[in-house]
Amino acid sequence: MNRSYSKIRHIQESNQKLEERLLSEQSFGYGPGGGMGLSQASKVSKEMNDYYKENPHLVNQVMQIGALVIPVVGPFISAGIGLADAAIYAKEGKNTEAGVAAVFALLPGIGAVVGKIPGVKQLGQKGMQALATKFLTKAPLNAVEQSVITGINLNKELIKQETNSVIKNIASNAATKATDSTTKKIMGDIAKEGIEISAEEIAMNMASSNPVQRVVGTGIQSSWGAKSPVARGVNSLRPKA
């Protein structure tokens, strides 16, 4: 009981500090009508940049959650299921970053997560997309954004569970609407397995459903495009020579 109380108290104190910092930002110029000077802005910017150095465990946890959805990002993009920001990273071969962007895009629509992390609702869809970009580029985060990152870490198991459920539902709907057998098969598999599905399994399903596909070197080439997001997801899991 004492340990639980201590943990709750620590979270409450952290949230209080975040609220005080937010009010400070608003009064000095980060909010409407503010008037922060250049030196003050520089100090706040440095303070926020230090956030990444001071909280490497939070950064690592968020990246790990993003890595869990790597196998499904490519198929979702290819099937035309939103995730525009994730698509940009996927095209650049940045698979984990694509996963993080995908998770952040999904969180505002997950009620259980919004209830645990109020900042997600406060930021909304566009704000969470902006947070993904800022987080992945290590840009300064304001107090609300920092509270969201902290909340994701504190609720990572819930997020994994709820994200998995949402991904299964999206895939199930996509499978019923798919007009080609390859997409229908892959979406059906994702609907059953969720984030537990492997990139290799998806690639094998593509190969068995699409005779045009062939392995070229370490990449995969198919009608979905040379070195497609799915192929990159597979290749990112291959051991380095």
**Buried/exposed code over 14-41 (b: 16+ C-beta within 10 A; e: otherwise):** ebeebeebbeebeeeebeeeeebeeeee
Tens of pLDDT, residue by residue over 113-133, are 999 999 999 999 999 999 999
Q: Where are the domains of the chain?
A: 41-194
- Can you spell out the DSSP letters for 193-221? HGGGS-HHHHHHHHHHH-TT-EEETTEEE
Angstrom distance (rounded) from CA 175 to CA 171? 6
pLDDT band at 142 (very low <50, low <70, confident <90, very high): very high
Tens of pLDDT, residue by residue over 200-217, are 888 887 776 654 444 333
DSSP-assigned letter for residue 93: T
Query: Model-level pTM greater than 0.75?
Result: no
| pLDDT at residue 110 greater than cutoff 50 | yes
Question: At which residue do the structure tokens 């645990």 appear?
Answer: 116
